[in-house]
Amino acid sequence: MINPVLHWLRKRCGSIPEQIKTVEDYHKRLGGAESPMLEDLRRFCFVYDTTFDDRPHRQQQNEGRREVYIHMVNMMNMDPKAIRPKPIEEEKDERDLYGEQKPTDVRGAR
């Protein structure tokens, strides 16, 4: 199963260099886990509190704030090296050993 953050990056950013730049920007702009800005966002995005509210529209807004915070944390936890696709290794078959033509069995030929 593909990482949801990686899936989002691939949809949002076409090229691999653009995906890497996006992740690096999150790292650079938001700082580490102890940054004051991130702490402020934790409080604003209901990380420490419930998102419940008697008014449904307000609760939905609170959930949206929390979702944004989770997305930012996921982006900061993403390793830019993980974005590079892994090479696909093909299984070898007879064509790899003999080229495109399969050898004929000369013992049974007359």
Q: Which contiguous run of DSSP H or E holds residue 39?
A: helix 36-44
Positions in the chain whose pLDDT score sits under 70:
1-2, 85-88, 90, 92-110
Provide the residue range defining the domain that includes 19: 4-81
Residue 90 lies in a domain: no
Q: What integer pLDDT is reported at residue 56 of this predicted model?
A: 96
Q: What integer pLDDT is reported at residue 102 of this predicted model?
A: 56
Q: What integer pLDDT is reported at residue 51 of this predicted model?
A: 96
Residue 89 lies in a domain: no
Q: What integer pLDDT is reported at residue 71 of this predicted model?
A: 93
| Number of structural domains the chain divides into | 1
Q: What integer pLDDT is reported at residue 61 of this predicted model?
A: 97
Residue 96 lies in a domain: no
Residue 13 lies in a domain: yes
Task: Dump pLDDT digits (tens) for 68-95.
Answer: 999 999 998 888 887 776 666 767 666 6
> Alpha-carbon distance 58 to 36, whole Å?
26
> Do the Cβ atoms of 61 and 69 come closer than 8 Å?
no
Q: What integer pLDDT is reported at residue 86 of this predicted model?
A: 63
Other C-beta atoms lying within 10 Å of the C-beta of residue 78: 21
Residue 71 lies in a domain: yes
> Alpha-carbon distance 78 to 83, whole Å?
8
Q: Which two tokens stand for residue 37?
A: 């800005």
Other C-beta atoms lying within 10 Å of the C-beta of residue 20: 18
Q: What integer pLDDT is reported at residue 46 of this predicted model?
A: 95
Residue 43 lies in a domain: yes
> Alpha-carbon distance 19 to 34, whole Å?
25
Q: Which two tokens stand for residue 68?
A: 């944004």
Overall size of the chain counted in residues: 110
Q: What integer pLDDT is reported at residue 98 of this predicted model?
A: 61
Nearest to 46 by CA among 34, 55, 58: 58
